[in-house]
């Protein structure tokens, strides 16, 4: 315990001595009391220099009176206008028009292009006439189309309308004939306010018999529509399937055996003839087309067109090819 107390006392003594040493070695920052004595005295009075006497008399003297001119002011005459000067116009020089180059004569044949520089552009956007030996219009050029509005919207069935119907009669393309169908649903006008083609209206059309190999659809042209109230209108519109694909899907009879019966018969005759004429022990039979006399005309298949048949009750549609206007008959109702 005595040792610890001695160490603490030595540390305190060292700190006190070190603080006094630092205070003595630091420079003085505050002014001495003797320097503060003179700063409390009042400042000396302000010196104002005297004003000179001549300047004082000049400032106190009254202002001089204005001097009035004794004679009247005479107006100055206006200067005379100078005569106008005209410049001589430049002399007119006549320049003759440039001569057009005359094309050299052509010795070889072919079309000659004639360019008319005097031609005026056609009005209303019409294309000028084409030169000799050229097409009527350049590639990509189209005629101008002007916008219009549909008249009598409530009584007009616009072009492109699909009229759903069901076939009343069957069709067979063996020969040309007529077809009949009934409208399934009501068809409204352009604005949808009136029923112009009611359900139950009758369609009359016709189809041809000129089918081609590979054809699977029957093409019908509907020529007339008759409403239940007796109103009739010309259609001239094609038949489509319910989704709008051209033509009516039909059953196809390709007449396979009729077309290839001659070829099958010729092959059988060739094989039979070779079997009869072969030698004993020969197991190879060769049948070449045309090797049998008189059978050359049967080598080609007979050109029989396919037969298309459509059953009664098939669902179809009529694609309206032009606007149908019922204004005349609807105004009477």
- The answer to whether residues 188 and 262 belong to one domain is no
- Same domain? 325 vs 290: no
Ranking 113-122, 194-203, 267-276 by mean pLDDT, the lowest is 113-122
- Same-domain check for residues 183 and 299: no
pLDDT digits (tens, 9 = 90+) for 87-108: 666 666 666 666 655 555 554 4
Please give the residue that has the higher pLDDT: either 126 or 268: 268
Q: What's the confidence (pLDDT) of residue 12? A: 87
Give how far Cα 260 sits from Cα of 204, 214, 295, 302, Å: 38, 16, 14, 7
Asked whether residue 176 falls in the same domain as residue 291, the answer is no
Average pLDDT in the chain: 75
Nearest alpha-carbon partner for 178 in 202, 204, 209, 203: 204
Q: Is residue 268 pLDDT above 60, yes or no? A: yes
280 by Cβ neighbours in 10 Å (0-12 / 13-18 / 19+) ranks as: exposed
Residue 12 is given by DSSP the state: H
Q: Looking at the structure, do residues 212 and 158 belong to the same domain, yes or no?
A: yes
The answer to whether residue 105 sits within a structural domain is no
Residues 295, 223 within the same domain: no
Task: Give the separation between CA 305 and CA 215, rounded to whole angstroms.
Answer: 9
Question: What is the count of structural domains for the chain?
Answer: 2
Same-domain check for residues 319 and 191 = yes
Q: In this structure, are strands 171-172 and 156-157 parallel, antiparallel, or unpaired? A: unpaired
Residue 295 is encoded by which pair of tokens? Answer: 């059978």
In a domain, residue 17? The reply is: no
Q: Which domain holds residue 180?
A: 153-253+308-330
The reply to whether 182 and 225 lie within a common domain is: yes
181 assigned to some structural domain: yes
Q: How far apart are CA 166 and CA 314, in angstroms?
A: 6
Q: Is residue 47 part of a domain?
A: no
- Nearest Cα to 311, choosing from 140, 133, 172, 128? 172
As a whole number, mean pLDDT of residues 107-126 equals 45
- Note whether residue 117 is domain-resident: no
How many whole angstroms separate alpha carbon 252 and alpha carbon 307? 6
Do residues 260 and 247 share a domain? no
What's phi and psi for 7, nearest 5 deg?
Answer: -65, -40
Instruction: Examine the domain organization and report whether 185 and 316 are in the same domain.
Output: yes
Specify if 60 maps to a domain: no
Dist CA 161 CA 244 (whole Å) = 10
Q: Residue 300 in 3-state DSSP?
A: coil
**Closest of 202, 219, 200 to residue 210, by C-alpha:** 219
**233 and 299, same domain (yes or no):** no
Residue 44 placed within a domain = no
CA end-to-end span of the chain, whole Å? 135
- Digit-coded pLDDT (tens) for 45-68: 776 777 666 666 666 666 666 555
Residue 83 within any structural domain of the chain: no
Considering the domain architecture, whether residues 238 and 187 belong to the same structural domain is answered as yes
pLDDT greater at residue 316 or residue 22: 316
Any idea what the CATH number is for the domain that residue 245 is in? 2.40.128.260
CB 177 within 8 A of CB 207: yes
């Amino acid at each position: 315990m005595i040792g610890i107390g001695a160490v603490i006392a030595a540390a305190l003594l060292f700190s006190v001595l070190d603080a006094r040493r630092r205070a003595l070695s630091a420079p003085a920052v505050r002014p001495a009391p003797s320097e503060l004595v003179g700063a409390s005295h009042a400042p000396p009075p302000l010196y104002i220099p005297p004003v000179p006497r001549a300047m004082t008399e000049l400032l106190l003297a009254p202002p001089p009176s204005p001097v009035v001119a004794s004679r009247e002011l005479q107006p100055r005459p206006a200067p005379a206008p100078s005569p106008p000067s005209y410049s001589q116009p430049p002399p007119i020089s006549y320049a003759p028009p440039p001569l057009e180059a005359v094309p050299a004569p052509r010795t070889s044949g072919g079309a000659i292009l004639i360019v008319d520089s005097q031609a005026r552009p056609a009005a209303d956007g019409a294309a000028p006439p084409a030169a000799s030996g050229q097409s009527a219009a350049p590639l990509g050029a189209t005629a101008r189309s002007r916008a219009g509005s549909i008249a009598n919207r409530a009584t007009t069935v616009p072009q492109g309308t699909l009229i759903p119907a069901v076939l009343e009669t069957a069709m067979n393309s063996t020969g040309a004939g007529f077809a009949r169908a009934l409208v399934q649903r009501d068809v409204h006008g352009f604005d949808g306010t009136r029923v112009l083609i009611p359900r139950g209206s009758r369609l009359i059309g016709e189809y041809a018999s000129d089918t081609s190999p590979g054809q699977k659809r029957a093409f019908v042209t509907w020529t007339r529509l008759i409403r239940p109230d007796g109103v009739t209108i010309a259609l001239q519109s094609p038949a489509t399937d319910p989704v709008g694909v051209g033509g009516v899907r039909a059953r196809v009879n390709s007449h396979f055996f009729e077309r290839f019966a001659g070829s099958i018969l010729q092959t059988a005759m060739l094989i039979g003839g070779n079997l009869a004429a072969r030698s004993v022990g020969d197991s190879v039979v060769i049948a070449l087309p045309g090797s049998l006399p008189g059978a050359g005309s049967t080598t080609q298949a007979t050109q029989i067109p396919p037969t298309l048949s459509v059953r009664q009750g098939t669902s179809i549609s009529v694609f309206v090819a032009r606007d149908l206007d019922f204004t005349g008959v609807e105004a009477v109702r």
